[in-house]
Amino acid sequence: MALHVPKAPGFSQMLKSGAQHYSGLEEAVIRNISACKEFTQTVKTAYGPNGMNKLVINHIQKQFLTSDAATIMRELEVEHPAVKIMILSSQMQDAEIGDGTNFVVIFAGLLLEAAEELLKMGMLATNIAEGYEIALEKCLELLPTLTVGEVKNVLDVAEVKKVVRSAVMSKQYGYEDFLADLVAKACISVATSHNASNLANVAFNVDNVRVVKILGCGILSSEVIQGMVFKNEVESYVRKASKASIVVYNCAVDVTQTETKGTVLIKTADELLKFSRGEEDSLEAQIKAISETGVKVIVSGAKFGDMAMHFINKYNMMAVRLSSKFELRRLSKTVNATVLPRLNVPTKEELGYCEEVFCTEIGETRVVIFQQPDEESKIATIVIRGATENSMDDVERAIDDGVNTFKVLTRDGNLLAGAGAV
Q: What is the mean pLDDT of residues 293-315?
A: 88
Q: Which residues, 6 or more positions from 114, have their beta carbon under 8 angstroms from its beta carbon? A: none
Please determine, for residue 329, whether its predicted confidence score (pLDDT) is greater than 90: no
Q: What is the mean pLDDT of residues 368-397?
A: 85
Q: Which residues, 6 or more positions from 94, have their beta carbon under 8 angstroms from its beta carbon? A: 70, 101
Q: How much is the pLDDT for 135?
A: 92
Please determine, for residue 422, whether its predicted confidence score (pLDDT) is greater than 70: no
Q: Which residues, 6 or more positions from 317, have their beta carbon under 8 angstroms from its beta carbon? A: 236, 238, 287, 290, 291, 295, 296, 297, 298
Average pLDDT value for the chain: 83
Please determine, for residue 165, whether its predicted confidence score (pLDDT) is greater than 60: yes
Q: What is the mean pLDDT of residues 113-122?
A: 86
More confident residue, 359 or 59: 359
Burial (CB count within 10 angstroms: exposed 0-12, middle 13-18, buried 19+), residue 408: middle
Confidence of residue 199 (pLDDT cuts 50, 70, 90): low
Cβ–Cβ < 8 Å for 175, 185: no
Q: Which residues, 6 or more positions from 374, have their beta carbon under 8 angstroms from its beta carbon? A: 189, 226
Which of 6-15, 79-88, 111-120 has the least mean pLDDT?
Answer: 6-15
More confident residue, 18 or 235: 235
270-296 pLDDT, tens digit per residue, is 777 766 666 777 888 888 888 888 888
Please determine, for residue 228, whether its predicted confidence score (pLDDT) is greater than 50: yes
Give me the phi and psi of 8, to 5 degrees please. Answer: -70, 145
Please determine, for residue 214, whether its predicted confidence score (pLDDT) is greater than 80: yes
Give the per-residue SS3 of the chain: CCCCCCCCCCHHHHCCCCCCCCCCHHHHHHHHHHHHHHHHHHHHCCCCCCCCCEEEECCCCCEEEECCHHHHHHHHCCCCHHHHHHHHHHHHHHHHCCCCHHHHHHHHHHHHHHHHHHHHCCCCHHHHHHHHHHHHHHHHHHHHHHCCEECCCCCCHHHHHHHHHHHHHCCCCCCHHHHHHHHHHHHHHHCEECCCCCHHHEECCHHHEEEEEEEECCHHHCEEEEEEEECCCCCCCCCEEEEEEEEEECCCECCCCCCCCCCCCCCCHHHHHHHHHHHHHHHHHHHHHHHHCCEEEEEECCCECHHHHHHHHHCCCEEEECCCHHHHHHHHHHHCCCEECCCCCCCHHHCEEEEEEEEEEECCEEEEEEECCCCCCCCEEEEEEECCHHHHHHHHHHHHHHHHHHHHHCCCCEECCCCCCC
User: In whole angstroms, what is the distance from residue 392 CA to residue 219 CA?
Assistant: 8
Q: How much is the pLDDT for 193?
A: 55
Q: How much is the pLDDT for 134?
A: 94
More confident residue, 24 or 93: 93
Interhelix angle 101-120/69-76, rounded to 10 degrees, is 70
Please determine, for residue 298, whether its predicted confidence score (pLDDT) is greater than 80: yes
- State the amino acid at position 375 in one-letter form: E
User: In whole angstroms, what is the distance from residue 265 CA to residue 128 CA?
Assistant: 85
Q: What is the mean pLDDT of residues 177-198?
A: 78
Q: What is the mean pLDDT of residues 211-218?
A: 88
Q: What is the mean pLDDT of residues 52-57?
A: 81
Q: How much is the pLDDT for 11?
A: 62
User: In whole angstroms, what is the distance from residue 405 CA to residue 372 CA?
Assistant: 25
Q: State what percent of residues in the chain have pLDDT above 90.
A: 6
Q: What is the mean pLDDT of residues 109-121?
A: 88
User: In whole angstroms, what is the distance from residue 149 CA to residue 5 CA?
Assistant: 70
More confident residue, 269 or 13: 269
Domains of the chain: 22-145 (1.10.560.10), 147-216+387-416 (3.30.260.10), 228-258+277-381 (3.50.7.10)
User: In whole angstroms, what is the distance from residue 172 CA to residue 409 CA?
Assistant: 21
Confidence of residue 251 (pLDDT cuts 50, 70, 90): confident
Confidence of residue 195 (pLDDT cuts 50, 70, 90): very low
Q: How much is the pLDDT for 19?
A: 66
Q: Which residues, 6 or more positions from 1, have their beta carbon under 8 angstroms from its beta carbon? A: none
Which of 46-55, 106-115, 303-312 has the least mean pLDDT?
Answer: 46-55
Which of 23-32, 141-150, 159-168, 318-327 has the least mean pLDDT?
Answer: 23-32
Q: How much is the pLDDT for 419?
A: 63
Confidence of residue 194 (pLDDT cuts 50, 70, 90): very low
Q: How much is the pLDDT for 417?
A: 80
Give me the phi and psi of 344, to 5 degrees please. Answer: -110, 165
User: In whole angstroms, what is the distance from residue 41 CA to residue 83 CA?
Assistant: 12
Please determine, for residue 137, whether its predicted confidence score (pLDDT) is greater than 90: yes
Q: How much is the pLDDT for 9?
A: 63
